[in-house]
A and B are shown apart, each in its own frame.
Chain A
Amino acid sequence: MSGTGPRKRYTDAELMLYADGELPPEEARGVAAYLAEDAEARLKLESLRQVGEAVRTYAELETDRAEVEVPAFADMWSRIERRIHANGISEPTPAHIRAPAAVRRARPVAAMWAAMRRWFEDHRGHVLTSAISAGVACAIMLALGPSWHAVDGGRGEHGTSHVIKGKLVSQPPEVEGLEVYEGSGTILTLEPDEDDDSGAAAVIWISNDDTDLEGPI
């Protein structure tokens, strides 16, 4: 046993900063030692480098395109850059301390990327809590929202409404008024069978008191 205790594991954000050369020297040495012992971390670092390179390449291409197509963008960027390097004072940065153009463009992107990753690492719990809260809230709202009527089991009796899950409520036909001028009328309701999709039917049966008169209706 070495007695030095477990070696510190570095986060992806720290590895990203290391890859970008943005860690303080002391911490960078720690990461280098960690990488020397951990093959998986080396693999991860290589992946991060590749991703970073892809982002840088894309950013460079897009910036170059923007500079060509939008001259105002180039002017604006150089003004911002001068201010950053002059620490807010509007003085031009001496040319000899300025980084190469590609590096100058890539650094803000890489830093932003690293900052975003750091933020997610630091606030993972909050993000998770928020997502769960949103899900629960949506579930509650959906549960309280308009829903289909449940089966009421009142099928078969005359005058009962038929409520079937997923369907609108059916009502039996109702004869509001009926006048039969000759003979008599009988009103019936034919309920649908259990497996019959059609609704109930009203039957108005007319019986002639004197069948040998008048003929058909």
Chain B
Amino acid sequence: MTGFRCALLACAVSIALASGSRGVMAQAGGDPPPPPTTANCQILEIKASNEGDGVDPDLKPLARKLKKPPFSSWKAFKLLKRHDKTVEKMKALNLGLVTGSKLTLLFRGASGGQTHKTRLRLGFTLDDKNGKRKVDGTINVDSGDYSLIGGDTIEGGATYIVAVSCKAP
């Protein structure tokens, strides 16, 4: 009987300790981090054409996607310029592009949790070289995923594409 009591007591103490340690573990690693107030963005200006073949090595993260429609219409993809910028929440980033047009990027906020990737809400506008607005939109995208805006032509009949990827730090 004493042995049984002792075992019962040990079991109860063990469960209590395990519960406590689990609580501590949850406290240590479970609380969601505060939402980020900045995002590190990469903006890639790309020229798509049928002159030559292959994807620029600098476009490796996008290489697979550039083989799918609508990009599969072109054989060659060349990086014209790469911009790496840190954007602050609700502070517009104005970026001059090689075509003379202007991209405005606005990091509106981020959400996420313990189970989902950080989700970024990004606003963007594209103005042509004359300052005339062409596109205005807002997109929700996972941290690190790309958004591509394209379709217009540049000199030589090539197509111009802007790829944007932002990561929450």
Contacts and interface: CB of A to CB of B under 8 A. Distances in A.
Interface residues of B, number: 57
Contacts of B18: 134, 137-138, 140-141
A214 B128 contact: yes
Interface stretch (A26-34, A71-79, A178-186): A178-186
Interface stretch (B50-58, B85-93, B113-121): B113-121
Contacts of B140: 173-176
A208 B152 contact: yes
Contacts of B149: 203-204, 206, 217
A204 B147 contact: yes
B10 A126 contact: yes
Given A133-B14, A199-B142, A179 B135 contact: yes
Interface string A134-164: 1011101110011001000000000000000
A159 to B, nearest CB: 13
Which of A133, A140, A145, A200 has the most CB atoms of chain B within a 10 A radius of its CB? A133
Contact of B14 (A130, A142, A174, A177): A130
A201 B70 contact: no
A203 B136 contact: no
Nearest to B16: A137
Contact of B117 (A169, A177, A216): A169
Contacts, number: 179
A134 B9 CA distance: 11
Contact of B10 (A130, A192, A200): A130
Contacts of A142: 22
B151 interface: yes
A176 B134 contact: no
B141 A173 contact: yes
B3 interface: yes
A185 B100 CA distance: 21
Contact of B154 (A123, A185, A193, A216): A216
Contact of A201 (B21, B126, B132, B148): B148
Nearest to A148: B115
B119 A171 contact: yes
Which of B70, B121, B141 has the most CB atoms of chain A within a 10 A radius of its CB? B141
Contact of A176 (B14, B62, B139): B139
B102 to A, nearest CB: 10
Contact of A175 (B7, B126, B139): B139
A188 interface: yes
Nearest to A144: B22
Nearest to B98: A216
A146 B114 contact: yes
B104 interface: no
The 10 closest A-B pairs by CB, nearest first: A130-B10, A134-B14, A178-B137, A199-B145, A133-B11, A137-B14, A206-B151, A141-B18, A129-B7, A176-B138
